[in-house]
A and B are shown apart, each in its own frame.
Chain A
Amino acid sequence: MSTLARARFSQLVLPRLDEGYRLARWLTGDATDAEDVMQEACLRAYRAIEAFAEGNARAWFLTIVRNTGYSWLQRHRPRSILFAEDLDPAARASLETGGVLAEAPETPETALIIHDDARHLARAIETLPVPFREALVLREYHGLGYREIAEVTGVPIGTVMSRLGRARQRLLDQLAQDER
């Protein structure tokens, strides 16, 4: 399998490494961790490359990166994604509608942000819960449509819309708070 697989890999995956890396970077919040995730994701993509027939290679690869990022987080920082998929339905509903997150803990770092818009924003993005953050990154950086985001993250379109809405609202609130 390997020659053909490699040919497809260099055609489908290699051109998307930077893109994948940025998703991994914003999912894990750390440059080194993102590299680990990318190494894993590329191995997975390579092994799955013959099963990938036709279609949206970009969404396919981003899905792999996203899922690898999630299992990475599960392994190394289980608490960070407890928020998302492992909650019971009621708690999850409240997550989607913002209930739980209204009280997201403020870290000492967020209190010490210096007056620098870009860093404010980066910081604010990093403190978003993972499901919100990934929706935001897939939309704003990768430019995916709601339907594609729904495919990559495995949730209904309505959830994508609500996660994006919450994410942005939280960012706006956070920035407004920083200005004060």
Chain B
Amino acid sequence: MTGDDETLLLLGAYCDGELSPGEVLAMERRLAADPDLRRAAERLRGLSTAVRGTLAGTPAPEALRARVIQRIGFVEPAPARNWRDSWQALAATLVVGLGLGALVGGGFVSLSRPDEGPPLSETVLAGHLRALAAPQPFDIASADGHVVKPWFNGRTPLAPDAPDLADEGFPLIGGRIDIVAGKAVPTLVYRRDRHVISVFVVPATTPGTAPGEERRDGSTIERWADGDLAYLAVSDLNTRALRSFVELYRARTARKG
């Protein structure tokens, strides 16, 4: 190998065009005098070309853009009447519409909804995604239900049971607080492999809690009720796995109650 460490670092910076003029001069002098160093420089340049080709060769998924727009569109639904206010926004909407085709553009616009608040499933899905986007999806990290449950006391009007289901492959990883229909509600956070499951617990009187299942933007929402509480489990886990999680959770909380 040619030269010491420092020389190689300088050579790399030289090939990247990152040396100061004085350093460039010095390096060029050395290159002229040292055939080994010249070969090293050629190797580096060859490597750069090859690396560039390899890095750029990874295909980027075509659907990514559509999915991102869909998600952004629904995170903050725009009031329908404001969208004409700004020429810039109008132009941007047109650009999006033209550039992405009727399907995506249409979806974008149709997400602008009139006055009524967003449906419950939209709120919980947004809460779930927001949590995923944060450095961690919980406010308190604990696998112990006896820690998580009391933590909610005084923070939310409800403090749900938080059974650890690690033995069944759904470890409890913590809890957090979400705002649903203007109220602070407890959310339990579980994990299955790489998937995070958020379990929102709200009073059964909250509109939109009728038991059922819903798919939204790649996530599944399972709703069920138990006494005066309603539960919503949200995850990008496959539906079957999420269902079995719900069954387990229900069985475990029922036994305790």
Residue numbers of A with Cβ under 8 A of B are 1-11, 14, 17-18, 21-22, 25-26, 31, 33, 35, 38-40, 42-44, 46, 68, 71, 74-76, 97, 117-118, 121-122, 125, 136-137, 139-141, 145-146, 161-162, 164-165, 168-169, 171-172, 175
Task: List B109-147 residues whose CB lies under 8 Å from chain A.
Answer: 129-130, 132-133, 135-136
Known contacts: A18-B60, A26-B55, A42-B72. The answer to whether A2 contacts B78 by CB under 8 A is yes
- A14 and B69: CB pair below 8 A? yes
- A161 and B50: CB pair below 8 A? no
- A162 and B86: CB pair below 8 A? no
B82-104 vs A, Cβ < 8 Å mask (1 yes, 0 no): 11011011011101100000000
Is the CB of B18 closer than 8 A to any CB of chain A? yes
The residue that A6 contacts in the complex, of B53, B58, B78, with Cβ under 8 A, is: B78
Q: How large is the interface on B (under 10, 10 to 19, 20 to 34, 35 or more residues)?
A: 35 or more
- B52 and A140: CB pair below 8 A? yes
The CB with the most chain B CB atoms within 10 A, among A2, A25, A97, A164, is that of A2
- B71 and A43: CB pair below 8 A? yes
Known contacts: A3-B89, A39-B68, A165-B12. The answer to whether A145 contacts B129 by CB under 8 A is no
The residue that B48 contacts in the complex, of A9, A137, A140, with Cβ under 8 A, is: A140
The residue that B16 contacts in the complex, of A17, A40, A139, A141, with Cβ under 8 A, is: A139
- A46 and B64: CB pair below 8 A? no
A-B contact pairs, 6 of them (CB 8 A): A4-B86, A6-B78, A22-B55, A26-B55, A33-B194, A145-B18
B58-78 vs A, Cβ < 8 Å mask (1 yes, 0 no): 101100110111011101111
The CB with the most chain A CB atoms within 10 A, among B44, B55, B95, B133, is that of B55
Residue numbers of B with Cβ under 8 A of A are 5, 8-9, 12-13, 16, 18, 43-44, 47-48, 50-58, 60-61, 64-65, 67-69, 71-73, 75-78, 82-83, 85-86, 88-89, 91-93, 95-96, 129-130, 132-133, 135-136, 194
CB-CB under 8 A from A8, the residues of chain B are 92
CB-CB under 8 A from B52, the residues of chain A are 140-141
Known contacts: A22-B60, A26-B55, A146-B18. The answer to whether A3 contacts B135 by CB under 8 A is no
Q: A137-B55, A140-B51 are in contact. List 8 more A-B contacts (CB 8 A).
A: A14-B68, A18-B64, A39-B68, A139-B16, A161-B12, A164-B16, A165-B5, A165-B8
CB-CB under 8 A from A43, the residues of chain B are 71-72, 75, 129-130, 133
CB-CB under 8 A from A145, the residues of chain B are 16, 18
CB-CB under 8 A from B132, the residues of chain A are 40
CB-CB under 8 A from A2, the residues of chain B are 76-78
CB-CB under 8 A from B67, the residues of chain A are 35, 39
**Shortest Cβ gap from B253 to chain A (Å):** 26
CB-CB under 8 A from A38, the residues of chain B are 64, 68
- A21 and B89: CB pair below 8 A? no
CB-CB under 8 A from B95, the residues of chain A are 10-11
CB-CB under 8 A from B47, the residues of chain A are 168, 171-172, 175
Known contacts: A22-B60, A146-B18. The answer to whether A6 contacts B89 by CB under 8 A is yes
- A3 and B18: CB pair below 8 A? no
> What are the 6 A-B residue pairs with the smallest beta carbon separation, nearest first?
A7-B92, A141-B55, A18-B60, A2-B76, A165-B9, A3-B89
**Shortest Cβ gap from B85 to chain A (Å):** 7
- A3 and B51: CB pair below 8 A? no
**Shortest Cβ gap from A150 to chain B (Å):** 11
CB-CB under 8 A from B61, the residues of chain A are 21, 31, 35
Q: How far is the CA of A3 from the CA of B88 in the complex (A)?
A: 9
Q: How far is the CA of A11 from the CA of B92 in the complex (A)?
A: 7
The residue that A117 contacts in the complex, of B50, B57, B88, B92, with Cβ under 8 A, is: B50
